[in-house]
């Protein structure tokens, strides 16, 4: 993927590329539009019959005569539902990397068996979607208007006519809220959430949250910066609006907070810095965007980056700005940050 292929994007487009989440580059992502169909497109659900109703975070209530099996979902939503035993065969959003492997947002799904309607931003094969005969489309939403994430503006009306949609909000709330909503969605689709695996996953998440709370309380002097790299710009995220950072802050983590005036161009999500100014904010730990649309720490060649105290001390960890909303996938995010704070040297 060329990091020089930046194009003019809306704020939502920047969000997809990473920047407006406070993390990431305004890049054109890579990947094939389509994957070979892996089957009938039916989701695996528990034996459940009768009508299906789900009220989403836009206040929209979707009603179907039966529990849907032909579901199309944003890849991160599909990955979360997969962890609860619901297998979605039709997806859109970052599913495959350029070499055909699973994108980080695809979680544990076998991407070779997925029907992919669009792998990159602003790409959605409406004809293929229509032929799939979806019963419902499910995505997340990153704004107060309830805009469906990764559904192109140009084709959203055509897509909306083919099937009803539901959205889980990941805008301006703490991580626990969308996690609970995804749990409710999975249950409505037939997931057995009383199974040992599901029950233990939730307990593990709660234990990890408590560990992070204790770590933050014991090391209040440790400053954490959430960042993301593009070819020309380093983005620093504030905690406001991002579900993970808002939650980590509520648990006591001491974050770098760019002033609101500096975040104006990023819609309140982030501040853009040139690589010459990447040392503007002192930080003991740097959390870096792990999405494929951004440059990963090992590939950053800028000398100013390599001179940062946290980088020299090896105190750089990953961050998932679009976490897969299952307890099993979010627990490691808490554990990783807790461990980093526990072991961090004060270097800033």
The residues spanned by each domain of the chain are: 52-193, 218-343
Check if the beta carbon of residue 57 is closer than 8 Å to that of residue 181.
Answer: yes
pLDDT of residue 266: 74
pLDDT digits (tens, 9 = 90+) for 53-92: 999 999 999 999 999 999 999 999 999 999 999 999 999 9
When pLDDT is cut at 50, 70 and 90, the band that residue 260 belongs to is: confident
When pLDDT is cut at 50, 70 and 90, the band that residue 276 belongs to is: very high
What would the two tokens of residue 193 be? 């959430």
Alpha helices (H) along the chain: 11-17, 75-83, 126-132, 156-162, 176-188, 196-218, 243-250, 303-306, 309-312, 327-343
pLDDT of residue 268: 85
pLDDT digits (tens, 9 = 90+) for 279-300: 999 999 999 999 999 999 999 9
Q: Is the per-residue pLDDT at 26 higher than 70? A: no
Distance CA 32, CA 96 (A): 8
Q: Is the per-residue pLDDT at 5 higher than 90? A: no
Lowest mean pLDDT across 45-54, 120-129, 162-171, 283-292: 45-54
| pLDDT averaged over every residue in the chain | 89
Please give the span between the terminal C-alpha atoms of the chain, in angstroms, as a whole number.
33
pLDDT of residue 162: 98
pLDDT of residue 41: 39
Can you state the angle between helices 327-343 and 75-83, rounded to 10 degrees? Answer: 90
Distance CA 322, CA 123 (A): 19
pLDDT of residue 265: 74
Distance CA 282, CA 341 (A): 15
Check if the beta carbon of residue 141 is closer than 8 Å to that of residue 57.
Answer: yes
Judged by DSSP in three states, 118 sits in: coil
Task: Give yes or no on whether 52-193 and 218-343 have one common fold.
Answer: yes
- Across 140-155, average pLDDT: 97
pLDDT digits (tens, 9 = 90+) for 181-205: 999 999 999 999 999 999 999 999 9
Percent of the chain's residues with pLDDT above 70: 86
Judged by DSSP in three states, 191 sits in: coil
**Per CATH, the architecture of 218-343 is what?**
3-Layer(aba) Sandwich (3.40)
Report domain 52-193's class. alpha beta
pLDDT of residue 42: 44
pLDDT of residue 19: 52
């Amino acid at each position: 993927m060329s990091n020089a292929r930046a194009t003019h994007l809306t704020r939502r487009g920047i969000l997809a590329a990473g920047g407006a989440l406070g993390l990431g580059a305004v890049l054109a992502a890579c990947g094939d539009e389509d994957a070979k169909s892996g089957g009938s497109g039916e989701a695996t659900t528990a034996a459940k019959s009768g009508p299906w109703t789900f009220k989403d975070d836009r206040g929209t209530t979707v009603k179907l005569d039966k529990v849907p099996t032909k579901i199309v979902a944003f890849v991160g939503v599909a990955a979360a539902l997969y962890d609860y035993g619901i297998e979605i065969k039709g997806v859109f959003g970052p599913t495959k990397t350029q070499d055909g492997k699973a994108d980080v947002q695809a979680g544990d799904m076998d991407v070779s068996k997925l029907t992919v309607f669009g792998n990159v931003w602003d790409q959605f094969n409406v004809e293929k979607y229509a032929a799939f005969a979806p019963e419902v489309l499910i995505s997340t939403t990153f704004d107060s208007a309830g805009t469906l994430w990764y559904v192109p503006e140009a084709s959203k009306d055509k897509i909306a006519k083919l099937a009803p949609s539901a959205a889980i909000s990941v805008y301006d709330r703490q991580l626990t809220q969308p996690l609970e909503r995804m749990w409710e969605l999975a249950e409505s689709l037939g997931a057995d959430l009383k199974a040992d695996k599901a029950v233990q996953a939730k307990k593990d998440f709660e234990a990890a949250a408590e560990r992070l709370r204790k770590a933050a309380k014991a090391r209040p002097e440790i400053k954490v910066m959430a960042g993301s790299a593009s070819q020309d710009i380093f983005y620093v995220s504030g905690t406001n609006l991002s579900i993970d950072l808002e939650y980590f802050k509520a648990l006591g983590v001491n974050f770098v907070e760019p002033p609101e005036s500096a975040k104006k161009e990023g819609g309140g999500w982030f501040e853009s810095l040139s690589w010459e100014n990447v040392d503007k904010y002192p930080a003991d730990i740097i959390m870096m965007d792990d999405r494929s649309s951004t440059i990963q720490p090992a590939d950053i060649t800028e000398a100013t980056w390599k001179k940062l105290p946290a980088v020299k001390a090896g105190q750089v960890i990953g961050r998932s700005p679009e976490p897969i909303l299952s307890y099993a996938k979010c627990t490691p995010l808490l554990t990783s940050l807790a461990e980093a704070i526990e072991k961090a040297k004060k270097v800033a």
